[in-house]
Amino acid sequence: MKSLIALILASGFAVASLPAQVLRLSRERMIRYTSKSPYERFPDGRPKVPDLLLAKVQGLSAEEAMLGGQGFPNNFAGDLQLLHPGKKLVGRAFTVQIMPARADITEVDRAEFARTGATRPWDHQVALDMLQPGDVLVMEAAANVGGVVGDNLAFFIWKRTGNGFVIDGPIRDLDGIAEFDMPAYYRTSAPPWLTNGIVTGIEIPVHIGNALVMPGDIVLGDREGVTFIPPHLVQEVVDAADIVHAHDEWTKKKFAEGKYGSRDIYSSPTDPALLQEYEEFLKSKLDASAYQEYLKRKNVARPVRPAR
């Protein structure tokens, strides 16, 4: 056991004051992994993207936050169920990992609890009590068979954070949770109470669908699924989306006139007169810095979504 703890500490995981099975990134390691974030941090080192920037993320779609070209090809999970389709989910990821229980691990933990005089073992509610306003609970729990939250804990999450959750695993009391005006994503529903799971990680990298999620990533949930944006790329994504929104507005405006074929307008106009009109429209819609960014990018990569 001593050698195992030494290995965990050497890997940058903190175990102090946590049960033996629970891993958590140390503040130093958290800052190292998220060193590109320019924003302030929570006491544990998790990046804290400003609320004003989060408000701008509300206007984004999943397509506008695809980051394969920036080295993040796995930042989208599109195979989860939605509690309320059409209700956006935006916030800072607070990650939790729950694994199936093992008798040899739980026996050790129970012995430790008995020695400390604890009246209740560590469970996922300890993690829920750490949530902050604006957080999104992001939980890896796909290997479990019992619901990891029901209507009572879902209500707690909603009121504690003003937000919702992303649970790659089962939830329970779905009819009760559906009454809450909260955004939420989940893998499946399961009536039984969670009895076979143990918390193995808090504020660590977690696996959600096809995505790897870091604590402090910005969560963007829409009808298509859940997108995770590293903090240092949020401003860039928002700025690029402003260009896309202006582009889409002009494109639909020209289509509505009924005078052009789709290739005349989309994905970019080819006629010189239309191109001039297009760029004048963008200039009127974008601030000076955004328009200069458009001019800088236009000969490198079109700031538009793929045709669909």
Distance CA 95, CA 250 (A): 40
Q: What pLDDT does 282 receive? A: 92
Averaged over successive runs of 10 residues, the pLDDT of the chain (308 residues) comes to 37 48 88 97 97 96 94 95 96 95 82 74 86 97 87 98 97 96 95 83 95 98 97 94 93 95 92 94 88 77 49
Distance CA 154, CA 192 (A): 16
Question: Domains of the chain: which residue ranges?
Answer: 16-229, 234-297
Q: How many CB atoms lie within 10 A of CB 195?
A: 9
Q: What pLDDT does 16 receive? A: 38
Structure tokens at 27: 């503040």
Q: In the chain, what's the furthest Cα-to-Cα distance?
A: 80
Pick the CATH number of 16-229 from 3.50.30.40, 2.70.98.60, 3.40.640.10, 3.40.50.150: 3.50.30.40
44: exposed, middle or buried (Cβ count in 10 Å: 0-12, 13-18, 19+):
middle
User: Among candidates 15, 9, 25, which has minimal Cα distance to 214?
Assistant: 25
Q: What pLDDT does 1 receive? A: 35
Q: What pLDDT does 212 receive? A: 96
Question: Cβ(101)–Cβ(197) under 8 Å?
Answer: yes
Q: Is the bond preceding 17 in cis, omega lying within 30 degrees of 0?
A: no
- Mapping DSSP to helix (H, G, I), strand (E, B) and coil, where does residue 294 land? helix
